[in-house]
C-alpha cells in the first residue's frame, strides 16, 4: 500500500498533517485496529497543533470538533483538502460545534461539491482563519434552522468591508442569532455603521465587536433602518471608542446588556477613562467591564 505521507504537492505533504501528526499505532506499540476502536466512540474532539490522519475514525460521529493550530513549522502550516473536510462533516451529521482555523485547500473544486447538511449546528467559529479559506469552507456548510452562533474575522486590509461576499451570502441563508465580528489588530479598521445596519441579519440578538473603531456614526443616514431590531446584547473587546458617537450607535438598539473589555477612548474623553466609563454606564440597564482575556463568545460561559 502506498504511503501517502511520502507524496508531496508543491513541497507540502499531501495529507496536510506532516510534522503535525499525533503518534501512530505503531509508535504506541498497539495495533491499528485497537487504536481505531479507542478513537471511534469519541464524540468531542479538540486538536491543536497535532492531528490524527484525516481518514481516522476519530473524526466520525462527532458532536464537537476543533481543528486548530497556533504556530507554523519551518514556515509551513497544516492543511486539509476540501474533499477530506467534506467527508469528515458527512460522517458527523449531528455536529453541533465546529471551530477550525487550519488551511483548507481545493477552492477550484468547491463548485462541484454539494453542501453538507448540518441541521444540529449551533456554533461555527472561523477566527484566525485566512480570509481566502472562507470561500472554501462556508459554501460547504448547510446549517439547519437552529439558532447559530457565528464568529469570523474581517479581511486583512484597511477600510475592509464588514461582510465580504461569501460571509454575506452565508448570513442570508442561515439563522445566525449571535454574531461575533473580529477586526484585524494590525489595521485601523472602522466600523461601518451603515453596513452594520443595512446588511446584518435582522434576527441577531447578540453582537460582538473586536478590534474595531467606533469614531464616526452617521446616525442620520441609518436611524430609520430596521436592521438589528432584536439586538439586546452588545459586546466590545479592545475597540477604539468615541463615547459620544458610541452612545448614538447604542441608541439605535434596545440594549439590555453591554459588556466591554479594555476599550481605548478617543475624542472628548480621551485620557479620561474614569469619566468615559461613568458615561457608558448609562447606555444599557446592565453594563459590565470584563477582565477575562477569553474571547467574547465565552463571556456568557
Q: Is 90 exceeded by the pLDDT of residue 275?
A: yes
Q: How far is CA 80 from the centre of its chain?
A: 18
Q: Minimum mean pLDDT among 182-191, 192-201, 274-283, 290-299: which range?
A: 182-191
pLDDT tens column, 176-196: 999 999 998 766 788 888 889
Which has the closest alpha carbon to 228: 276, 193, 277, 263? 193
Predicted structure pTM score: 0.89
The pLDDT of residue 158: 74
Which has the closest alpha carbon to 89: 112, 66, 118? 118
The pLDDT of residue 274: 96
Handedness of CA 160, 210, 103, 177 (dihedral sign): negative
Residue 203 DSSP one-character state: T
Q: Most confidently modeled of 147-156, 167-176, 185-194?
A: 167-176
Q: Is 50 exceeded by the pLDDT of residue 64?
A: yes
Which has the closest alpha carbon to 49: 22, 74, 20? 20
The pLDDT of residue 78: 85
Is residue 28 helix, strand or coil? helix
d(Cα 99, Cα 92) in Å, to the nearest integer? 14
Q: How far is CA 84 from the centre of its chain?
A: 21
Q: Minimum mean pLDDT among 20-24, 76-80, 207-211, 282-286: which range?
A: 20-24
Amino acid at each position: 500500500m502506498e504511503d501517502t505521507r511520502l507524496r508531496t504537492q508543491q513541497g507540502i505533504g499531501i495529507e496536510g498533517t506532516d510534522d503535525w501528526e499525533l503518534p501512530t499505532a505503531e509508535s504506541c506499540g498497539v495495533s491499528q485496529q485497537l487504536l481505531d476502536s479507542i478513537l471511534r466512540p469519541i464524540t468531542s474532539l479538540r486538536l491543536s497543533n497535532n492531528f490524527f490522519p484525516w481518514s481516522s475514525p476519530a473524526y466520525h460521529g462527532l458532536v464537537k470538533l476543533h481543528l486548530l493550530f497556533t504556530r507554523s513549522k519551518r514556515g509551513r502550516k497544516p492543511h486539509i483538502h476540501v474533499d477530506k473536510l467534506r467527508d469528515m462533516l458527512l460522517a458527523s451529521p449531528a455536529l453541533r460545534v465546529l471551530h477550525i482555523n487550519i488551511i483548507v485547500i481545493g477552492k477550484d473544486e468547491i463548485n462541484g461539491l454539494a453542501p453538507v447538511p448540518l441541521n444540529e449546528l449551533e456554533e461555527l467559529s472561523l477566527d484566525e482563519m485566512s480570509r481566502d479559506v472562507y470561500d472554501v469552507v462556508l459554501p460547504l456548510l448547510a446549517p439547519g434552522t437552529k439558532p447559530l452562533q457565528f464568529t469570523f474575522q474581517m479581511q486583512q486590509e484597511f477600510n475592509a468591508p464588514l461582510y465580504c461576499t461569501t460571509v454575506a451570502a452565508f448570513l442570508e441563508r442561515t439563522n445566525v442569532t449571535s454574531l461575533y465580528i473580529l477586526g484585524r489588530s494590525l489595521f485601523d479598521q472602522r466600523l461601518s455603521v451603515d453596513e452594520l445596519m443595512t446588511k446584518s441579519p435582522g434576527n441577531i440578538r447578540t453582537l460582538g465587536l473586536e478590534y474595531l473603531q467606533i469614531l464616526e456614526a452617521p446616525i442620520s443616514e441609518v436611524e430609520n433602518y430596521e436592521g438589528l431590531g432584536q439586538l439586546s446584547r452588545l459586546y466590545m473587546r479592545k475597540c477604539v471608542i468615541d463615547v459620544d458617537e458610541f452612545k448614538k450607535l447604542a441608541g439605535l438598539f434596545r440594549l439590555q446588556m453591554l459588556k466591554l473589555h479594555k476599550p481605548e477612548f478617543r475624542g472628548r474623553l480621551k485620557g479620561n477613562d474614569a469619566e468615559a466609563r461613568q458615561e457608558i454606564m448609562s447606555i444599557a440597564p446592565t453594563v459590565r467591564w470584563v477582565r477575562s482575556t477569553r474571547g467574547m463568545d465565552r463571556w456568557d460561559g
